[in-house]
Homo-oligomer: A and B are copies of this chain.
Amino acid sequence: MRELASWMKERGPEGDIVLGTRCRLARNLRGIPFPEAANREQLREVLSQAAGVTPKLSPAGSFTFREMATMDALERELLVEEHLISPSHMQSPAHKAVILNDRHNISIMVNEEDHFRIQVLKPGLQLEEAWQRATRVDDLLEEHLDFAFDLKTGYLTSCPTNVGTALRASVMFHLPALRRVRKVQEVLGAVSKFGLTVRGLYGEGSDVYGNVYQLSNQITLGQSEEETIEHLARFTSQILHSERQAREYLLEKERRLTTEDWLYRSYGVLQNARILSSQEAMELLSDLKLGIDLGIIPHGDPELVKQLMVQIRAAHLQSIMGQPLPAQERDRLRASLVRDTLEKHMTKTQESR
């Protein structure tokens, strides 16, 4: 079985609520049009500079340069599901590349919307660490590449919304208790007024599955990177606080039994279903993770559940099964994978009941 990206296997700070943190820096080469406007030679020139700079990144890890066109569709989709490349980077692979480290927690998309998009992914809440790491990679790149930078406005980017710091920091939350008590809107609804934005698991326009929400900064101009990170961290701790309050509420004496009933039923369905759509699986895994994190379902490994949240996705499932699968087969094998994984890793739960 293919190794999962490290940030998805490991537990990080506040791992009961924060699945992961991501920092992304957009950079463009001076004197070459943005990818959208560049011609074939210019795009190839970017690829060539990217390939050339890859070995120089070794102080930050062991990196590999791969042109998207040399990967098969499944391999590209796996990277999307791990959040290492964007869906658009997968869909039109011509003249695009990715520079990946071996732990799959740093990726540099080449010729996506910008010439370079440096992404660092960390398990749990690690805004400062992710940003520092991204900056380190950026510094290594800048030693060898000439990035378009303006003293007054900062980094120039293809989309004006990124101009300035060109930093997008995101925190991926698991908020099942807030959803349960119907307070997601109340807690997340107002963030846009504060220059932040909320999306589903797979970014812009993606639906919220399994109570996973991504909170990111929208503003890149007029504030420093430090301010951006601090601002996001402040909101993050408010959301953490609200989710924790909701979890305590669900555990209060008069409703603890109802909470247990809800979470155990989901666990029972996961252990027994023979057909699982990816959406239903996400919802049920969300319940299971909450059950384990609340200490209701004992002997469970919440990281196992976090891993399953990726492994049940179409490309990972096909990769695990070693063959392309029609949709109905996918639902059957998804149920089978979930069942087998839970049986293997959570048997103690059965015994202790």
Q: How many copies does the complex hold?
A: 2
Minimum CB–CB distance from A305 to chain B (whole Å) comes to 16
By a CB distance below 8 angstroms, the chain B residues around A339 are 353
Q: Cβ of A269: which chain B residues have Cβ within 8 Å of it?
A: 265, 268-269
CB within 8 A of A257: which of B260, B264, B272, B275?
A: B275
In the complex, chain B residues whose CB is within 8 Å of the CB of A270: 268
User: Are B272 and A267 in touch, CB under 8 angstroms?
Assistant: yes
Interface size of A by Cβ–Cβ distance < 8 Å? 21
**When each residue 35-76 of chain A gets 1 if its CB lies under 8 Å from chain B and 0 otherwise, what string results?**
000000000000000000000000000000000000000000
Residue on B nearest A271 in the bound complex, by CB: B268
A221 at the interface (CB under 8 A from B): no
A294 vs B343: C-alpha distance in the bound complex, in angstroms? 24
Give chain B residues whose Cβ lies under 8 Å from the Cβ of A185: none
Q: Confirm or deny: A273 has a beta carbon within 8 angstroms of a beta carbon on chain B.
A: yes
Give residues in A with beta carbon < 8 Å to B.
257-258, 260-261, 264-265, 267-275, 332, 335, 339, 343, 350, 353
For the residues of A in contact with B, the DSSP-based class is: helix
Complex alpha-carbon distance, A267 and B332, angstroms: 18
**Are A264 and B272 touching (Cβ within 8 A)?**
yes
Residues on B with C-beta less than 8 A from A353 are: 339, 343
> How many angstroms from the CA of A29 to the CA of B257 in the assembled complex?
55
Given contacts A343-B353, A350-B350, A353-B343, contact A268 B273 (CB under 8 A): yes
